[in-house]
Amino acid sequence: MSTTGTTGLGVGIVWWPPLDALCQEREGLVDVIEAEPEAYWVPASDAPGFRSFLAGALAHLPQPKLLHGVGAPLGGTCAPPDGHTAALAAEVAALGPEHVSEHLSFTRFQTPGGKSAISAGFMLPPLQSPAGVALAAANVRLHREALGGIPLAVETPVSYLPPIPGEWPDGGFVAAVSEAADCGILLDLHNVLCNARNGRQSVWAFCDELPLERVWELHFAGGEREGGFYVDAHSGLAERELMDIAAALIPKLPQLRAIIFEIMPERVADVGLGAIGRQLGQLRDLWNTRACDCQHCPTSSAAWSRTEMPLDPESWSTLLGSAATGLPLPVLDDELIPWWDSTASALELYRMLVRENRASTVAAVAPRTTRLLLMQHGGAATRRLLAEFWQQSTQAYTAVDEARAFIRFLVAAHPTLPGVADAAALDIAKLADLGI
């Protein structure tokens, strides 16, 4: 694995407008800006594909930029939507990131029968098997080539599922993909902590299986409890246990380029910029303990079973994607039925997360329509309308397309709801003003 030309970028954040003031602090709290490009994309108005607002939004910030993809995860069998790769390549050209990262998960899957690819609306865990490794490694190579050969790192995934009998351990799977694809690792320590707290591999067992010289980036975040699980909600500050784990690990990472803090934009006001700034200061103290490039840090040479599972990656993504979105399930192999029965609470969590993601998307892009529904009909009735919409429509790729689909549904299915047509027209007009 080549590391020529790599640098230590420092401590940064995943950028959202509510965090902009921190990025402009003279104290130099933020060394590097990371952005999720697809969050700033809208459908192109004159051709297939996407138009981005990201470069303009970041133009006033002098820090180096990194791109953290959220729209084309590398653990699934479906290609990104048409135009995605071209739009991401344009972001790379505009912002010049030292590397790009993407999730080792999947969102798009084939419907039962394989007739079309749809979005689950949430990151789902890949199949951790030899075939899953081969698929993910091939996806990494294709993605990297399409982006002009830029260095690419895969993010360690979250899974709320109980381990499948015979699957590769979490750390071993990430290690095998990174070695097969010759790529970097974005070690999201909070993701790994979530997995451990939800009954999967322990944090240290996970880290012991990684080739530590491939860890280019660390992510930190805060989580919360939901439905009996510890959830990667990006809801607050990183807790003490996570910081202690990092303090022991960072001196063993000879190629660490960046430490990044993540928080959802709607959580910033509750946590406060002052507290987030102090968290960045703590992360800088950790950054200053990183290993020298010349250090060699031996990693585990553990071997994992090469036995294939009774699922291939495509049937796995169809099964899990269908379960998370409420579609009819394919027929299960008899060997998997006991395990599948044990997933009920995890699948309900995924379904809730999918619903919340879709609801928040509509609220963000169609605020007048959403506000009117809540004021006139209340939360329960608004939820019922959303549920009716979800039964008729799968998740759109962009937030704009999702909101437009909901507005079309309301106007067509509930034309007599008072005020909805006017509120919807105002939301559509606002999008038109933006050229969307």
Residue 65 contacts by C-beta under 8 Å, 6 or more apart in sequence? 32, 33, 34, 35, 58, 95, 96, 97
* Phi–psi pair at 81, nearest 5 degrees: -60, 155
Sequential DSSP letters for 88-99: HHHHHHHH--S-
What CATH number should be reported for the domain holding residue 18?
3.20.20.150
Are residues 23 and 111 both part of a single domain? yes
Are residues 367 and 257 both part of a single domain? no
Are residues 144 and 221 both part of a single domain? yes
Are residues 355 and 264 both part of a single domain? no
What is the spatial distance between Cα 106 and Cα 120, in angstroms, rounded to a whole number?
9
Are residues 269 and 400 both part of a single domain? no
**Which alpha helices (DSSP H) does 328-395 contain, by range?**
337-341, 344-365, 367-392
Are residues 255 and 353 both part of a single domain? no
In a 3-state reduction of DSSP, which class is residue 100? strand
Instruction: Indicate whether 326 belongs to any domain.
Output: no
Tell me the angle at which helices 313-325 and 130-146 cross, rounded to the nearest 10 degrees: 90
Are residues 397 and 254 both part of a single domain? no
Q: What domain range is 79 assigned to? A: 10-287
Q: Give the end of a domain, one of 244, 265, 287.
A: 287
How far the first Cα of the chain sits from its last, in Å, is 42
Instruction: Indicate whether 25 belongs to any domain.
Output: yes
Output the pTM of the full model: 0.93
Q: Give the end of a domain, one of 241, 261, 287.
A: 287
Going by C-alpha positions, the residue among 221, 278, 267, 268 that lies closest to residue 246 is: 221
What is the spatial distance between Cα 218 and Cα 257, in angstroms, rounded to a whole number?
9
Are residues 179 and 88 both part of a single domain? yes
Are residues 158 and 283 both part of a single domain? yes
Instruction: Indicate whether 309 belongs to any domain.
Output: no
pLDDT tens string for the chain (436 positions)? Answer: 444 345 699 999 999 999 999 999 777 899 999 999 999 999 887 777 899 999 999 999 999 999 999 999 999 999 999 999 999 999 999 999 999 999 999 999 998 776 788 999 999 999 999 999 999 999 999 999 999 999 999 999 999 999 998 899 999 999 999 999 999 999 999 999 999 999 999 999 999 999 999 999 999 999 999 999 999 999 999 999 999 999 999 999 999 999 999 999 999 999 999 999 999 999 999 999 998 754 445 444 445 556 677 889 999 999 999 999 999 999 888 989 999 999 999 999 999 999 999 999 999 999 999 999 999 889 999 999 999 999 998 899 989 999 999 999 998 998 888 888 888 889 888 877 766 6
Instruction: Indicate whether 192 belongs to any domain.
Output: yes
Instruction: Indicate whether 101 belongs to any domain.
Output: yes
Are residues 278 and 360 both part of a single domain? no
Instruction: Indicate whether 302 belongs to any domain.
Output: no
Are residues 49 and 136 both part of a single domain? yes
Q: Give the end of a domain, one of 247, 267, 287.
A: 287
Instruction: Indicate whether 352 belongs to any domain.
Output: yes
* Phi–psi pair at 185, nearest 5 degrees: -125, 130
* Total tally of structural domains belonging to the chain: 2
Instruction: Indicate whether 391 belongs to any domain.
Output: yes
Are residues 60 and 150 both part of a single domain? yes
Going by C-alpha positions, the residue among 260, 267, 264 that lies closest to residue 283 is: 260
